[in-house]
Amino acid sequence: MNPIRAVKGMNDVLPDEIGRWQHIEAAFARSMRLHGFREVRTPYVETTGLFVRAIGEVTDVVEKEMYSFAHHGEELTLRPEGTAGVARAYVEHAVHAKEPVSRWYYTGAMFRAERPQRGRYRQFYQLGAEIYGDPGPACDAELIDMLAAFLGDLGIGDVEVLVNSLGGPLTRARYKEALVTYLTPRASELSPDSQRRLLTSPLRILDSKSPIDQALVADAPSLHDVFDPSDRDHFASLERHLQALGTPYRIEPRLVRGLDYYTRTLFEMKGAKNKLGAGDTLLGGGRYDGMIADLGGPVVPAIGFAAGLERLLIASDNVPSSPTVDTFVAPLGQEAVSYALLFARDLRRLGVACEVDARGLSLKSLLRRANSLGARVVVILGESELRDEVVQVKDLVGHGQQRLRREEALHAVSELLRAPTAGHP
């Protein structure tokens, strides 16, 4: 019979790998807590209309990459990104009326029907956050600085921080006009995709991957030339704050990112290019001051970002995998098994993670398994220990072994686990 396999582009994360995932998730949660963010969880499935309205109809995500289906007359979609659902929740629960500023973060799976390759999957995990009610630019700078530090904490090298501003609606309208005027006489030279975008969303031509398009837009007018004064001030203050914080960044005037909803501040971070594809970003984000009103809420400024967890894993070195258990309980012979179960239960009550191996293995095999689980201490219980109501406590780091009474042994194990583990593999 043919084995059943996982869906293409959707991966299992086995327990051997989970330590690295949890390390990154914990570092992220810590960073979020230090910056006053609280976690939000929204559904994996939303109405298709939400993404069309929030992300924009003429985006790659909405045009080509959504997993959509009809169910009992409703058009539904597996979320391709987190911002739309979180913004929907913010509006639906009228959160603006309860608190002037909300700092929320999320983690979880996203789904896009893209061509799978290294760092690009059909189910992937994002770490993301949103700030509602703060027009920036101070919080924009704080977010960018926090993310640069987060990537540094994960040991990701060669981090490149790109920032830009798309301006507000006035600037964008003016720029669209300038860009269309510039590109229209050259339209026949553009790639077919960009020819189509010239009519639907001309700004997207700026981040076209086609070398011909890139050469054409290299001389196009810059967004920064047509900034509205308030947009110019916003961007200038963002730069001032970033400089004060000492965050290295580079202005990339052609950075627009694929989603339609961005206004003003926009950023992307890349790193570890030797491990990821050159075009692959680790994270990206920006301001989307119009979305809350577009979704039927009041006018509330907003900024957010999302990082790809798998890409962080590929890019980061030295993320330790944690031991499975602290203590390994090894009964020798069937008589000692109940005694071992009882002792293990007492250890767990003291907060010690332990595993009992009651398969009747030899002491040598038991010790080999204790090592492979990363245990620091082995508790050996044989027939003579059972008779004398004692246990053997073996320290796999210090290599000592003690024969102790039960109560003393419980105490000794806890003490050994508290001691520094330097030198332990």
What are the C-alpha distances in Å from 40 to residues 32, 105, 363?
12, 6, 49
| Distance between CA atoms of residues 179 and 182, nearest Å | 5
Q: How far is the CB of 17 from ligand AMP (least distance, A)?
A: 16
According to CB under 6 A, which one of 202, 271, 308, 331 is a site residue for ligand AMP? 308
Question: Would you say the C-alpha torsion 60, 61, 65, 67 has a positive or negative sign?
Answer: negative
Q: How far is the CB of 5 from ligand AMP (least distance, A)?
A: 19
| Distance between CA atoms of residues 157 and 155, nearest Å | 6
Nearer to ligand AMP, 174 or 273 (CB): 273
Residue 355 contacts residue 369 (beta carbons within 8 Å)? no
Q: How far is the CB of 188 from ligand AMP (least distance, A)?
A: 30
According to CB under 6 A, which one of 130, 289, 310, 326 is a site residue for ligand AMP? 310
Which span (212-220, 247-255, 304-312, 360-368) binds ligand AMP, by CB under 6 A?
304-312
Per-residue string for binding with ligand AMP, 53-82, x by CB under 6 A? ----------------------------x-
Nearer to ligand AMP, 62 or 306 (CB): 306
Which span (87-95, 112-120, 342-350, 389-397) binds ligand AMP, by CB under 6 A?
112-120
Which span (169-177, 303-311, 338-346, 417-425) binds ligand AMP, by CB under 6 A?
303-311
Tell which residue, 302, 309, 255, has the closest CA to residue 282.
Answer: 309
Nearer to ligand AMP, 282 or 391 (CB): 282
Q: How far is the CB of 308 from ligand AMP (least distance, A)?
A: 2
Nearer to ligand AMP, 271 or 297 (CB): 271
Nearer to ligand AMP, 137 or 271 (CB): 271
Q: How far is the CB of 197 from ligand AMP (least distance, A)?
A: 17
Per-residue string for binding with ligand AMP, 258-297, x by CB under 6 A? -----------------------xxxx-------------
124 touches ligand AMP by CB under 6 A = yes
Interface size with ligand AMP, residues (CB under 6 A): 17
Query: Exposed (0-12), middle (13-18) or buried (19+): which is 393, by Cβ within 10 Å?
Result: buried
Residues 79-98 that bind ligand AMP (CB under 6 A): 81
Nearer to ligand AMP, 266 or 377 (CB): 266
Residues 311-370 that bind ligand AMP (CB under 6 A): 311
Which span (101-109, 171-179, 287-295, 306-314) binds ligand AMP, by CB under 6 A?
306-314
According to CB under 6 A, which one of 25, 114, 153, 395 is a site residue for ligand AMP? 114
Closest residue to ligand AMP, judged by C-beta, is 308
Q: How far is the CB of 112 from ligand AMP (least distance, A)?
A: 5
Q: How far is the CB of 9 from ligand AMP (least distance, A)?
A: 8
| Site residues for ligand AMP per CB under 6 A | 81, 112, 114, 119-121, 124, 126, 281-284, 306-308, 310-311
